[in-house]
Structure 1
Amino acid sequence: MAIYTKGGDKGNTSLFDGKRVPKNSLRVETYGTFDELNANVSLADKFCLDPENRKILQRIEYRMFFLQGEIATEEPEKFRQQSTIITDEDVHYLESIIDKYTAELPKVTSFILPGSSCAGAQLHVCRTVCRRAERQFVSFMAENEVRPELERYVNRLSDFFYIMARSEDHVAENQKIINMVVDRYKKAMEES
């Protein structure tokens, strides 16, 4: 079976609830940018050194499907009847990760470059794509009714990606120090 339908050949696409809209509509641009973000999150999770961070990011990847699905529905009630939705529990989960990592990581006293590790750099890409998606989401909210839980969730995401990037950079820096110590030890053992 072909994955193409030819339904979009004239510049339209179907939403979750079956309604056809132009591919360049604000709704499609908004959920499309969150889709781009989710692909970047998937890449970031492959770079992560910390297995717990990978699990956290994979959880976020699944939640992103629900976020996109609700935006991709002109009649949100239809989506809510057929799918899981973002709730305040999801908002609190992001906040708990942000708070935990902020308390555990060294304090930031100056501007930081966007990522000193592959995972950290990719998570900063996630942060910047998220900020673009958030700007589009604000425009989308000006024209559409949006649940406050969805609004809060979107507002927490870029802070979440920032702290995850810091976490992975910290893990990578610690691993680099461990590797240096092990290398020096091995060299000293070979020389003795």
Structure 2
Amino acid sequence: MEELIEYILQFGDLNQQQIKLIANKATELQLQKGDYFSEAGKTPRQVGFILEGVLRVCYFNNKGEEITKYFVDENHLIVDYQHFQPKIEATEYVEAVTDCKLLIFSKEDWEDLSKTILIWDAIVHKIVQKALTEKLERRSPLVDQDATTRYLSFLEKFPKLANRIPLSYLASYLGITQSSLSRIRKNIS
């Protein structure tokens, strides 16, 4: 719980009563590797904070190929926000890449925090802005780099992730085949 509170306090000041309210609304969720936190075709109903593990956001393209958009690891919030807020069906999956432990908030509890804590919406807005910025920083360089540079850049930015995720997911994220990734890894080691 301390990790979540520390995370939230980066974006705004809360008093002890507000912190206690947040703690009382959070429940723990265990996900096994391969379990879904949210699924395409269903309305996202919860916000999670990752205590342990890695999740990935993915979708299927029009050829039926699974595409990994990005990974989210410890001390980050996870929610399909663009579908969570308006209560519409998701178009992506959020899947556990490893066994995960999360603190979660139901849609109702999240909305209660918004109604009860005056600065909650401002805090959430700052969190969403930071997440969007991080997402753009992750994806933008991938567009104009060759495959080896993309892989090396990934290793530099996310050194703890590379050994925790399957090569197939990493290859998908980098926009290359798994065999190409294997060749790149062999050539640089």
Greater share of strand: 2
Q: Common fold, TM-score beyond 0.5?
A: no
Which structure's CA Rg is the greater one?
A: 1
- For normalisation by structure 1, the TM-score amounts to 0.25
Greater share of helix: 1
